[in-house]
Structures are given as structure tokens and as C-alpha cells.
């Protein structure tokens, strides 16, 4: 499999050019989109590209999804939409944060579809199309998350308002599931029923409810468009079941030094871990400045008091535990149980990816794989493995 670099690579120089690296498997990315498209049945399948495509790089991800068949894309902000338009000139791009005063020009200039999230945004949008001409929009309806969107009763009133300007004709309704990752949660069915009532009131309109988790809930939730996000990038969309998605991102960091410590000595800040045996330590060029969070530490952080084990890495096919506290630029792993002489400065340790599931690492840090991916710093060298022909 060949590798190539794209302009998604960070502009900042990387220490040593590869002290920390991300290997991004574009074939797995494409396969994950196709898998979600199959699960979506008759519904069209979009791709969510928020936050620089969940940290892997907008350009490479967008081109991969487009080649796989995606024609609808969701971003968080108009600036993200403008960047995406420069990569894909002929797709539909939805902006989830909607339109606010001062942002109107971007929507017209880059042909972006605002997702209207409030009565205030509706006023801004109506003024914008009165001045600038036709522009499609999506109406966000809050069916139970209490985040963004018109309340169901307000959306229903809008649907039946005979004085509503003819120029306001949303091409799609959108809502978002609060508990889709918990298939048994009663709020899923409640949100589905509320959303159906609004879709019926607007009559013959496209609709989208299912994120990654919602797609797994089944056909009732698919409507006319699904919008997978985390599952495309290899993350776990549903709690407490095996993750069927292929890993996309492998994060590795270079070992800067291998050192010996005696039983009774300590490691890292706070001297929170005392060695009970002579220990071989791999000091790795990775820390919380790279998005490898302090909460992953092997000791000295509140999560360890809750009997949740710290993170581990994989080195030469063996799992090795993180020891002591993660620091800004450096982390320590216990490599004592690997054969003497097998671990050298310059070796790379995998901290999540093909051999260390990202959701397991996230659990060790008391978070979710979304946060790990979108927190990846700019010091990684990103290496893209090309889609297999």
C-alpha cells in the first residue's frame, strides 16, 4: 500500500519531522462510509466533516468520501464549509451552526446550506434571501436534546402558518438524537415520534434524524438522509457492543530514551508511582499538548482512584502500561516485560489504532473517542495510506 501526503498536513514543522505521527488508512475510511451507506438502506448517506474531519484532515477525508459515493456533507461552521467547497466544488454542504448576522456572505459566495436553529436565525435568513436572492436551507427541530433547534410546537406552527413567506421553503428537516448510543433508552422512540409529527406537518419534505448511532437503531430512524460521523472514522457509535467499524487512525510516538529505575524509585511529576521492582522505562515524545490527555495517566489522577486502569500502548506486538503522569510533551511506559535489548530509542509505540482500540484508550481517560480524535495536536506528522485500487 502506498502512502501520500496532502495539503491537509499541518503547516507547523514537526519536531524531528516524526516524533509523533498519525497514519490514516483511507481505504478503511472509504469502507466505513460504504458500510454505513449499506446500513442506511434506501436513505442517502452523507458524511460529517466537522473539526477538520474529526482531526484526520478535511481534504483527504472529503475526497475519499466523495470517491466512495458521498454527495452530501455536514460541517459545523461556514468557515469549514468554505474550506470544503474549495475541495469539492459540486456537492451539497450543510452548515450545522446555521446563519447569523455577519456570516451571510459566506453562504452565498460558497453555496452553503444553513441549518436554521432558532427563530432569531430564521429572521436573519429571511432578510438575507430578501437581499441576496434564493438560497436553500434546512430547519432544525429540537425533539428532546435541548441543544439547538426550534421547539416542536413552534415548528408545527410554522408549518401551518399561511402567512409564511413563499420564499421560505426548507428543503429538509433535521433533528438530533440525544441517546442514540443507548438503543434501549426510551427517549429515542419519543424523539422519533416527535420528529415524525413535524415531518408530516411539512408534507413531502426530506428529513434527517440518524447520526452514526441512529443508523444502527434501524430503518425507522433513517428517513431520507443519514449523517454518520464518528463511525466513519473508526469510532464506536453504540455503547457496550463490539465496534464493527474498521480502525482509521493509528497514533504513534517515538521513544526518546530507555532508562532503568530501581525498586523504590518513582516516575514523573508528583512521584505518584513507586516501583515495586526494577523497571525499564520507555520515555515517549507525546503528551497532553498533543491531545494525549493527562487523565490517561497510570497514576496520580482522580480516575485511578476509581479503579479504572490507565492507558496502555502497543510495542513490538506487546501491550505495555502507561506509568506515572502524562506530562505536556512526554509520557512513560513500562517495558520491563519485553525482552532485554528489544526496545531502543527511536522505536515507535502505538498509543491507539490498529492494535490498541481507540475506544479502550478513551475509556481509560474517562472520555470518548470523539474527544481523542478531535483533540489531536498539530505536532503529528500525518501520513495518508492511499485507497486501494
Catalytic residue among 50, 221, 370, 384: 50
Average pLDDT estimate for 60-65: 98
Query: Which DSSP state fits 294?
Result: G
Report d(CA 54, CA 28) in Å as an integer: 15
Are 208 and 262 part of one and the same domain?
A: no
Q: Among 39-53, 129-143, 153-167, 251-265, where is mean pLDDT lowest?
A: 153-167
Q: Are residues 195 and 332 in the same domain?
A: no
Percent above pLDDT 90 for the chain? 88
Give the pLDDT confidence of 14-50 residue by residue, as tens digits. 444 579 999 999 999 999 999 999 999 999 999 999 9
Residue 6 placed within a domain: no
Place of cell 420528529: 195
- Residue from 195, 205, 83 nearest 138 by CA: 205
Number of C-beta neighbours around residue 98 at 10 A: 26
CB 139 within 8 A of CB 150: yes
Q: Cell numbers at residue 268, please?
A: 514523573
**What is the total residue count of the chain?**
389
For residue 364, being part of any structural domain is answered with yes
Same domain, 100 and 183: yes
Does the active-site annotation cover 269?
yes
Residue 171 has pLDDT above 70, yes or no: yes
- Asked whether residue 295 is assigned to any structural domain, the reply reads yes
Residue 29 lies in a domain: no
> Which residue is catalytic, options 233, 269, 370, 380?
269
Burial code of 54-89, b = ≥16 C-beta within 10 A, e = fewer?
bbbbbbbbbbbbbebebebbbbebbebbbbbbebbe
Per-residue pLDDT, 15: 44
- Return mean pLDDT, the chain: 93
**7 is a domain residue:** no
246 is an active site residue: no
Domain membership of residue 10 (yes or no) is no
Based on the fold, state whether residues 183 and 298 are members of the same structural domain: no
Residues 220 and 360 in one domain: no
Question: Residue 273 has which C-alpha cell?
Answer: 508511582
Amino acid at each position: 500500500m502506498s502512502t501520500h501526503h496532502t495539503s491537509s498536513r499541518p503547516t507547523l514543522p514537526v519536531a524531528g519531522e516524526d516524533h509523533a505521527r498519525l497514519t490514516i488508512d483511507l481505504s478503511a475510511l472509504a469502507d466505513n462510509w460504504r458500510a454505513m451507506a449499506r446500513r442506511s438502506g434506501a436513505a442517502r448517506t452523507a458524511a460529517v466533516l466537522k473539526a477538520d474531519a474529526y482531526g484526520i484532515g478535511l481534504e483527504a477525508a472529503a475526497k475519499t468520501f466523495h470517491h466512495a459515493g458521498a454527495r452530501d456533507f455536514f460541517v459545523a461552521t461556514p468557515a469549514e464549509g468554505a474550506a470544503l467547497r474549495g475541495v469539492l466544488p459540486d456537492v451539497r454542504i450543510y452548515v450545522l451552526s446555521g446563519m447569523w448576522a455577519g456570516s451571510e456572505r459566506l453562504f452565498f459566495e460558497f453555496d452553503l446550506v444553513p441549518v436554521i436553529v432558532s427563530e432569531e436565525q430564521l429572521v436573519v435568513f429571511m432578510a438575507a434571501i430578501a437581499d441576496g436572492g434564493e438560497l436553500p436551507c434546512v430547519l432544525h427541530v429540537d425533539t428532546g436534546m435541548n441543544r439547538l433547534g426550534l421547539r416542536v410546537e413552534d415548528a408545527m406552527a410554522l408549518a401551518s402558518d399561511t402567512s409564511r413567506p413563499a420564499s421560505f421553503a426548507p428543503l429538509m428537516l433535521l433533528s438530533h438524537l440525544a441517546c442514540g448510543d443507548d438503543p434501549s433508552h426510551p427517549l429515542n422512540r419519543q424523539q422519533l415520534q416527535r420528529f415524525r409529527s413535524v415531518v408530516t406537518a411539512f408534507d413531502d419534505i426530506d428529513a434527517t434524524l440518524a447520526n452514526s448511532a441512529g443508523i444502527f437503531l434501524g430503518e425507522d430512524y433513517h428517513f431520507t438522509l443519514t449523517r454518520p460521523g464518528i463511525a466513519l472514522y473508526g469510532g464506536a457509535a453504540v455503547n457496550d457492543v463490539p465496534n464493527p467499524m474498521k480502525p482509521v487512525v493509528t497514533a504513534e510516538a517515538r521513544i526518546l530514551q530507555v532508562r532503568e529505575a530501581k525498586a523504590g524509585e518513582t516516575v514523573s511529576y508528583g512521584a505518584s508511582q513507586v516501583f515495586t521492582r526494577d523497571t525499564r522505562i520507555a520515555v515517549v515524545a507525546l503528551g497532553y499538548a498533543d491531545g494525549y490527555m493527562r487523565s490517561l495517566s497510570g497514576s496520580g489522577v482522580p480516575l485511578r482512584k476509581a479503579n479504572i486502569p490507565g492507558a496502555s500502548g502497543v510495542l513490538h506486538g506487546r501491550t505495555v502500561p502507561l506509568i506515572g503522569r502524562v506530562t505536556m510533551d512526554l509520557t512513560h511506559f513500562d517495558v520491563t516485560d519485553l525482552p532485554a535489548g528489544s526496545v531502543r530509542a527511536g522505536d515507535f509505540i502505538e498509543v491507539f489504532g490498529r492494535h490498541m482500540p481507540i475506544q479502550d484508550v478513551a475509556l481509560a481517560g474517562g472520555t470518548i473517542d470523539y474527544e481523542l480524535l478531535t483533540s489531536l495536536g498539530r505536532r503529528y506528522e500525518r501520513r495518508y495510506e492511499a485507497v486501494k485500487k
